[in-house]
């Protein structure tokens, strides 16, 4: 059974999340404060953390760093609307993705499944098929609507990183580091250029991408 630690100081929301996750087959550990969250983590193994950034006793980023220092558990952040600086800081601190309050349960469950896949990539990574395009990684063949498309080695690398964990937000820094290397983590304009190219080559309507999604100021996401 997958165990999720939910950290949220609003008791009613904590209770609602606990019931909802349990009804979807998750084992839930509930923590109303940062301190109790760290105590729970020291006591038992959890597979993922769902974490409200606005806690009374501890800064959300501090808590993310404390979790990160001990384990590579996926962390999904709950954040207030209009708090994009807070989201960036949370992602930089090591969170894997975020959901903006108020959120629907379906969205939360989808994001949670996506961050859980981070540690367990999909079994078949060799092929990707969407409604618009297909990718065959071992053969380095790409096609849009059946017509072959030529991609550069860098474009293949970007697609590998993005499609490896469908639905997961890949932050700018992580993408730059994995594709170009640690010296390039500030070169976000590379990503704009390359993602624009990839959309023109692969998306049915490059101006309204359905698969290679931009999360403004944060990163990119592959929706299969
Ligand atoms: Ca709160």
Please count the other Cβ atoms lying within 10 Å of the Cβ belonging to residue 52: 24
Q: Which domains does the chain have, with CATH numbers?
A: 3-118 (3.40.50.2300), 127-222 (1.10.10.10)
pLDDT per residue as tens, the chain (224 positions) = 899 999 999 999 999 999 999 999 999 999 999 999 999 998 888 999 999 999 999 998 899 998 887 777 899 999 887 777 888 888 888 898 999 998 999 999 999 998 888 765 554 568 899 989 999 998 999 999 989 999 999 999 999 999 988 888 899 988 999 999 989 988 999 999 999 999 999 999 999 999 999 998 899 999 98
How many angstroms separate the alpha carbon of residue 78 from the centre of ligand 1? Answer: 9
How many angstroms separate the alpha carbon of residue 55 from the centre of ligand 1? Answer: 5
How many angstroms separate the alpha carbon of residue 219 from the centre of ligand 1? Answer: 25
Q: What is the pTM (predicted TM-score) of this model?
A: 0.72
Residue matched to tokens 């060799």: 126
Please count the other Cβ atoms lying within 10 Å of the Cβ belonging to residue 62: 12
CA 67 to the chain's CA centroid:
17
């Amino acid at each position: 059974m997958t165990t999720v630690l939910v950290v949220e100081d609003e008791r009613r929301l904590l209770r609602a999340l606990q019931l909802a996750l349990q009804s979807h087959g998750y084992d839930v550990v509930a923590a109303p404060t940062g301190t109790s969250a760290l105590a729970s983590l020291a006591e038992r193994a959890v597979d993922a953390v769902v974490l409200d950034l606005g806690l009374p006793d501890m800064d959300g980023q501090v808590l993310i760093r404390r979790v990160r220092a001990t384990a590579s558990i996926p962390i999904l952040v709950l954040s207030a609307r209009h708090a994009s600086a807070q989201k960036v800081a949370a992602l930089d601190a090591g969170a894997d993705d975020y959901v903006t309050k108020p959120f629907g349960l379906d969205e939360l469950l989808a994001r949670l499944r996506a961050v859980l896949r981070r540690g367990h990539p999909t079994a078949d990574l060799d092929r990707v098929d969407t409604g618009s395009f297909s990718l065959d990684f071992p053969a380095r063949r790409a096609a849009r609507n059946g017509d072959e498309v030529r991609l550069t080695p860098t474009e293949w690398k970007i697609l590998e990183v993005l499609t490896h964990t469908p639905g997961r937000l890949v932050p700018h820094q992580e993408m730059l580091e994995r594709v170009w290397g640690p010296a390039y983590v500030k070169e976000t304009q590379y990503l704009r250029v390359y993602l624009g190219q990839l959309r023109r080559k692969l998306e049915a309507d490059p101006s309204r991408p359905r698969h290679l999604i931009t999360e403004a100021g944060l990163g990119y996401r592959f929706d299969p």
